[in-house]
Amino acid sequence: MAKKVDIKSEPNLADAAKRKREETRILTDDLEIPSELRIIASGKKFFIRTYGCQANVLDSQNIEGILLEIGYSPVDNPLQADVVILNTCAIRENAEEKVFGEIGSLKRLKGENKDALICICGCMVQQPHIVNTIKTKYPQVDIIFGTHNIHHLPSLLNEAYSKKNRIIEVYSKEGEVIENIPCFRRDKIKAFVNIMYGCDKFCTYCIVPYTRGKQRSREMDAILKECQDLVKQGYQEITLVGQNVNAYGKDLKDAPTFATLLSKVAETGIPRLRFTTSHPWDFTEEMFEAIAKYPNIMPFLHLPLQSGSNDVLRRMGRRYTAEEYCHLVDRLRAIVPSISLSTDIIVGFPNETEEDFQRTLDVVKYCHYDSAFTFIYSPRVGTPGAKMEDKVSMETKHERFSRLIATLEPDFEAKAEAYVGKIVPVLVEGSSKKDETILSGYTDTNKLVNFKGNVSSIGKIVNVKILESHTYSLIGEEVNE
Ligand code: 5AD
Ligand code: SF4
């Protein structure tokens, strides 16, 4: 017999788009775990699959922290788990297709272990049409929860066990900042630290302001304490994470600016500090100064361009022109000449003309990027972009996409080639499974390096002489200089 569906709360895009001008509320209650759940969880295993960006990686660390605190233990194979969590991404359609494929293949798990629970969370299920599809077409899914109520996971699991219902609890409210959620980091070398949640920019192609809600900043003291703890634990790198880090603090009373926060985190002594993502629109002079002042703020910046056409940028709601963007890049390079630059570019925004696309290629040629993430525009239900007329064929979009890559790659190659013969600092992350003397890590400029070295270097910053370059990576050998 089909299980009953208990709908506690369903997502609503109109509610998700609302923004009240009120200060962010910070909740610091401790997590509540029902005692009967601890008994049920003992000996049971969990598996988490994370799709998408750093925000999801961080949420999964909280989910893992919660599950460990309840008493579950981790397992590497979803088919051996008693609780499977898919933390999903909604940024483009292909991300969503992968998740539906995985939900389909998890049907087997229910055949082998009928008490197993399949839970879907993350950005995808903040969208009403996705929740409806899962509700009607994927009966194997037991719990759907959203990005605002991860801390409810213990009570949702408890209820799924006791009532044997399917449960849907997704909020589209403005959201608070919830501190004190347990967090488990598998990576002991590099850590992401959330400085804010949500986004208020509403770029017209983007689903994030709907799936993650209003911009909410964490208080600086809480962020600093977390960073100090990471330094004490021996972490070598911290990346401060937010959809739009430059806007940090604008939703808090008397909050410091992002530049102040960045400086204070740099002063914790963390060997490497990065931040992502910066919006070109609110990049301040103070931020340039901080980047130039602290040697542990890495000479690397991810600065999404999206398009080089002023008309497309205006229709995307990006609030800067191509000229302003290029000026920003000039300023950055004047202040930190060694800075390495990466970007995001979308091809095929509705009615993008050949002329518009040429402007994107012009900016690409001007900026000489070190790396880039490139995407074909994917309409997202509920965003203004999805309602725009679009006469550009998919064939043209693919053809432009190939031309974009062909324009970017010579720069990637030239930038990589310039490393050959140089000795660069590399934070070593691991070794090859086949040969433990082949190590890999990243330069301060965020270039991937595979190199011959000593396995004892893992977790340290070592000098590597670069011998060879490829478009997307470097080859080298560890040196003792
Ligand atoms: N279609 C294609 N790319 C998108 N991005 C965001 N929304 C869309 C969309 N609807 C890209 C942007 C953003 C990156 C994270 O994903 O380039 O910077
Ligand atoms: Fe999306 Fe724009 Fe916000 Fe980035 S700044 S998350 S692209 S709406």
Helix%, strand%, coil% for the chain, nearest 5: 40, 25, 40
Alpha-carbon distance of 34 to 70, in angstroms, equals: 9
Minimum-distance ligand to the CA of 380? 1
Q: Give the pLDDT score at 124.
A: 98
Cβ(412) – ligand 1 distance below 6 Å: no
Cβ(55) – ligand 1 distance below 6 Å: no
Atom of ligand 2 minimally distant from the CA of 243: 6
Q: Give the pLDDT score at 21.
A: 76
Atom of ligand 1 minimally distant from the CA of 207: 7
Cβ(244) – ligand 2 distance below 6 Å: yes
* Distance from Cα 203 to the centre of ligand 2, integer Å: 6
> Which residue carries 């750093």 as its tokens?
54
- What does the pLDDT look like over 250-278, one tens digit per residue? 999 888 999 999 999 999 999 999 999 99
**How many beta carbons lie within 10 A of that of residue 35, not counting itself?**
7
Q: Which segments of the chain have a pLDDT < 70?
A: 1, 481
Q: What's the whole-model pTM score?
A: 0.96
Cβ(243) – ligand 2 distance below 6 Å: yes
- 380: helix, strand or coil: coil
Q: Give the pLDDT score at 22.
A: 79
**Are the beta carbons of 210 and 257 closer than 8 angstroms?**
no
Neighbour-count burial for 293-321, b at 16+ CB within 10 Å, e otherwise: eeebbbbbbbbbbbbbbbebbebbebebe
Alpha-carbon distance of 237 to 111, in angstroms, equals: 43
Q: Give the pLDDT score at 20.
A: 80
- What does the pLDDT look like over 271-309, one tens digit per residue? 999 999 999 988 898 999 999 999 999 999 999 999 999
* Distance from Cα 212 to the centre of ligand 1, integer Å: 15
Q: Give the pLDDT score at 344.
A: 98
Cβ(209) – ligand 2 distance below 6 Å: yes
- Atom 4 of ligand 2, residue of closest alpha carbon: 243
